[in-house]
């Protein structure tokens, strides 16, 4: 009798902790939002509109995955939007003006993103300047570079289909839905990120570093190296997302991705990842990405005036954060 | 047999000479208490041994071999486990994950840092360990450390050092914040570790504890070792006056005479 009672307790405790977890409350709110939009406008769930949302979702979502890992380790990166803009600009310039093979140009673009991430990471860890300041400066450098090398003009349109274009931005139809291959990238990378953060040794290290860096270092965890690699990963994912976007719309603009850094960070924290590090959730980030995308899409459909979008987005994000904070407090009290 | 020897360790933080010149040796199966007032340099000394930061000057020998300890990993690989005074756990991780932090049991080891954690083993080993230590029998290995009391956290950190059966275990004020039962648990643990042939360097402000478990006493003042005595040859009052510096000259003479 007593044994049964003892075994019963942790299970119910676990279930209630799942319900109280931040990603769960985000999920509930996402469902409510979707329902509200669906009722307010029948077109919201139309194949065309869903296809549309799914085309945009992976581009910011992919960056958000890297940002989640980075935030969990206690750092963040404000230069992702600029890298999103610079990578395709460099690749297309190399191909169109430099006559390089597209494969080589993509490789150069990737190496460039890696270098940007490495510089961010090394300055943050070795010199000890906060990631806010370092990546804010990097945002200016990278955006400035994109503007300078293009002289501020978007590159002429890209009309050479090929292996890489199909790989990154090909599309296919399922029934009346039209999906891009980028969705597969997002799904695949999400699964990888879930594995790494929650099931691999590395994820244990990432959470420990963000939670208590000194404790992690005292256990022999190479905290600085992990952080540098996460900066590199985030930067590379931002470049990948930029390429996907540029291939999809067949154009590269030096101002593409402006403001994305904040949108991505919003997705991550709305999903329940702590801005202060230590607690990260990839599932939450996926929910957060879906939420911000559907908000942006839904408020257009239900007829909110264009210039008022950001008011709504901002208010909804604030409400989410307040909710998380209240849940957190509640959990601490129990 | 000597397991650890420090020779003329020096360490400054800017103009603060936290460690002026510290030398001593630690033998196998011996419990040495490191005493001294706040700011005497005790934590600095053990941080140097455990690889938190490098010393400015001086040598460290492990089992007679000169070693260079450049990182906490180096110290752990040499068999030196340390429980630091400032919290050594990650509050957002579960007890089990904290116990094995840095030494996670994994499957598919060849995957390196991407190797999947062996969650079943992690849980079972953690539960077994908590049971063995006996100072935290009510704790669930899956509970987050942030939900534990200070004393419970200390118990977890100590269980962890015990887990890896290090040659040398360094405890920086391990009984701080502990209740009566937990304190007895720690002292019992120190004796157990000695019985198993390991050495312990124990930092504490509680002299009664010292007389319960230590074999030898080392006293630090302002970055220097000022006295070294075996517990059998001294008493509580003498030690107390050495720490506070009352009548230093007489005591120093006595120490040197030995
Ligand atoms: N990281 C640091 N930077 C600058 N000064 C430091 C640092 N760590 C320690 N100190 C200084 O070195 C001296 C010795 O400090 P330490 O922590 O070793 O003392 P302690 O003997 O452990 O004291 P307590 O009993 O209070 O723990 C102190 O004056 C302290 O202020
Ligand atoms: Mg100290």
State the nearest Cα–Cα gap between B144 and chain A, in angstroms.
11
Q: How many A from CA of B102 to the centre of ligand 2? A: 24
Partner-chain contact B76 A220, CB within 8 Å: yes
Q: Give the pLDDT band (50/70/90) at residue A5.
A: very low
B2-91+164-257 in CATH: which number?
3.40.50.300
Domain boundaries in chain A? 3-333
Considering only A13-17, A284-288, B3-7, which range has the smallest mean pLDDT? A13-17
Q: Is B255 helix (H, G, I), strand (E, B) or coil?
A: helix
DSSP letter for A125, please: I
Nearest-by-Cβ selection for A219 from B72, B87, B111: B72
Which strands form B168-172's sheet, in the order they lie side by side?
B65-67, B57-62, B2-13, B16-27, B224-230, B216-221, B31-35, B199-203, B168-172, B80-83
Instruction: Please report which ligand is nearest the Cα atom of B243.
Output: 1
- Sequence-separated (6 or more) residues with CB below 8 Å from residue A1: none
Residue of B13, B87, B175 with the most ligand 1 atoms within 8 Å of its CB, for mutation: B13
| Distance between CA atoms of residues B129 and A270, nearest Å | 38
Instruction: Give A3's pLDDT tier (boundaries 50, 70, 90).
Output: very low
Q: How many CA atoms lie within 13 Å of A263's alpha carbon, on the beta-carbon side? A: 24
**Domain range summary for chain B, segments of one domain joined by +:** 2-91+164-257, 93-143
B117-127 per-position pLDDT tens digit: 999 999 888 88
Which residue in the set B71, B91, B104 is minimally distant from A204, CB to CB? B104
Range among A145-149, B222-226, B231-235 rated most confident? A145-149
- CATH topology assigned to domain A3-333: ABC transporter involved in vitamin B12 uptake, BtuC (1.10.3470)
Output the pLDDT for position A1: 31
**Contact residues on chain B for A215, CB-CB shorter than 8 A:** 87-90, 101
What local confidence, expressed as pLDDT, does residue A10 receive?
A: 45
Instruction: Please write the tens of the pLDDT for every residue from A165-196.
Output: 788 878 887 777 778 889 999 999 999 999 99
Ligand number nearest CA of B40 is: 1
Q: Which residues neighbour B220 within 8 Å (Cβ) at sequence distance 6 or greater?
A: B22, B34, B35, B36, B40, B41, B42, B45, B226
Q: Which of A211, A217, A274 sits opposite B93 (nearest CB)?
A: A211
Rounded Cα distance between A125 and A122, Å, is 5
CB atoms closer than 10 angstroms to residue A102: 17
Lowest mean pLDDT among A40-49, A77-86, A249-258, A320-329: A320-329
CB-CB neighbors (< 8 A) of A10 in chain B: 140, 142
Residue A300 CA, distance from chain mean position? 22
Q: What's the gap in Å between B13 CA and the centre of ligand 1? A: 9
Contacts from B146-153 at CB under 8 Å and sequence distance 24+?
Answer: B146/B91, B146/B92, B148/B95, B150/B176, B150/B177, B151/B177, B151/B178, B151/B179, B151/B182, B152/B182, B153/B87, B153/B89
* Model pLDDT for residues A87-133, shown as the tens digit of each residue: 999 999 999 888 888 889 999 999 999 999 999 999 999 999 999 99
Residues A245, B119: contact at Cβ < 8 Å?
no
Does the distance separating the beta carbons of B73 and A218 come in below 8 Å?
Answer: no
ipTM higher than threshold 0.95:
no
**What contacts A127, CB < 8 A, 6 or more positions away?**
none
Ligand 1, atom 6, residue with closest C-alpha: B13
Query: Which residues of chain A neighbour B93 with C-beta distances below 8 Å?
Result: 204, 207-208, 211, 278
Tell me, letter by letter, the H, E, C secondary structure of A190-235.
HHHHHHHHHHEHHHHHHHHHHHCHHHHHHCCCCHHHHHHHHHHHHH
Phi, psi of B140 (to 5 degrees): -90, 130
CB contact under 8 A, B104 and A201: yes
Measured by CA distance, the residue closest to atom 27 of ligand 1 is: B38
């Amino acid at each position: 009798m007593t044994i049964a009672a003892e075994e019963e307790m942790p299970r119910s405790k676990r279930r209630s902790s799942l319900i109280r977890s931040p990603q769960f409350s985000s999920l509930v709110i996402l469902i409510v939002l979707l329902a509200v939009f669906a009722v307010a406008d029948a077109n919201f769930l139309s194949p065309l509109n869903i296809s549309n949302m799914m085309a945009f979702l992976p581009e910011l979502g992919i960056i958000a995955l890297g940002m989640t890992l980075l935030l969990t380790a206690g750092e963040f990166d404000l230069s992702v939007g600029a890298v999103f803009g610079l990578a395709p600009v460099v690749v297309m310039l190399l191909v169109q003006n430099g006559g390089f093979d597209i494969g080589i140009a993509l490789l150069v673009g990737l190496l460039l993103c890696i270098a940007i991430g490495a510089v961010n990471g090394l300055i943050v860890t070795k010199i000890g300047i906060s990631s806010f300041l370092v990546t804010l400066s990097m945002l200016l450098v990278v955006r400035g570079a994109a503007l300078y090398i293009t002289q501020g003009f978007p590159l002429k349109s890209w009309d050479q289909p090929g292996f890489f274009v199909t790989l990154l931005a090909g599309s296919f139809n399922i029934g009346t839905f039209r999906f891009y291959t980028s969705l597969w990238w997002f799904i695949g990378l999400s699964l990888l990120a879930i594995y790494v953060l929650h099931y691999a040794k590395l994820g244990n290290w990432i959470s420990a570093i963000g939670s208590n860096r000194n404790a992690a270092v005292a256990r022999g965890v190479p905290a600085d190296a992990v952080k540098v690699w996460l900066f590199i990963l985030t930067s590379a994912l931002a470049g990948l997302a930029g390429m996907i976007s540029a291939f999809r719309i067949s154009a590269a603009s030096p101002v593409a991705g402006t403001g994305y850094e904040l949108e991505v960070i919003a997705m991550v924290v709305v999903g329940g990842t702590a801005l202060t590090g230590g607690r990260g959730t990839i599932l939450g980030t996926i929910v957060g990405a879906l939420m911000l995308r559907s908000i942006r899409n839904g408020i257009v459909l239900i007829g909110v005036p264009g210039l008022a979008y950001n008011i709504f987005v901002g208010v909804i994000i604030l409400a989410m954060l307040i909710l998380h904070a209240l849940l957190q407090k509640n959990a601490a009290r129990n | 047999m000597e397991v650890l020897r420090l020779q003329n360790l020096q360490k400054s933080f800017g103009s603060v000479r936290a460690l002026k010149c510290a030398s001593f040796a630690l033998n196998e199966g011996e419990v040495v208490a490191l005493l001294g007032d706040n700011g005497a340099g005790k934590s600095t000394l053990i941080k140097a041994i455990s690889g938190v930061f490098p010393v400015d000057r001086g040598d460290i020998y492990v089992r007679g071999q000169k070693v260079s300890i450049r990182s906490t990993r180096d110290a752990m690989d040499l068999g030196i486990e340390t429980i630091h005074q400032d919290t050594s756990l990650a509050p957002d991780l579960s007890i089990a994950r904290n116990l094995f932090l840095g030494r996670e049991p994994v499957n598919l080891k060849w995957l390196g840092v991407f190797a999947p954690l062996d969650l079943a083993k992690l849980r079972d080993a953690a539960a077994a360990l908590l049971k063995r230590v006996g100072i935290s029998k009510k704790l669930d290995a899956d509970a987050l450390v942030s939900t534990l009391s200070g004393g419970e956290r200390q118990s977890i950190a100590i269980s962890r050092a015990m887990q890896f059966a290090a040659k040398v275990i360094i405890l920086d004020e391990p009984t701080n914040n502990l209740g009566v039962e937990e304190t007895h648990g720690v002292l019992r643990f120190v004796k157990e570790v000695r019985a198993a042939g390991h050495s312990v360097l124990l930092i504490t402000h509680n002299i009664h504890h010292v007389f319960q478990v230590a074999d030898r006493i080392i006293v630090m003042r302002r970055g220097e070792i000022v006295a070294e005595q075996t517990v059998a040859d001294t008493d509580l009052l003498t030690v107390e006056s050495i720490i506070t510096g009352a009548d230093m000259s007489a005591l120093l003479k006595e120490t040197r005479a030995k």
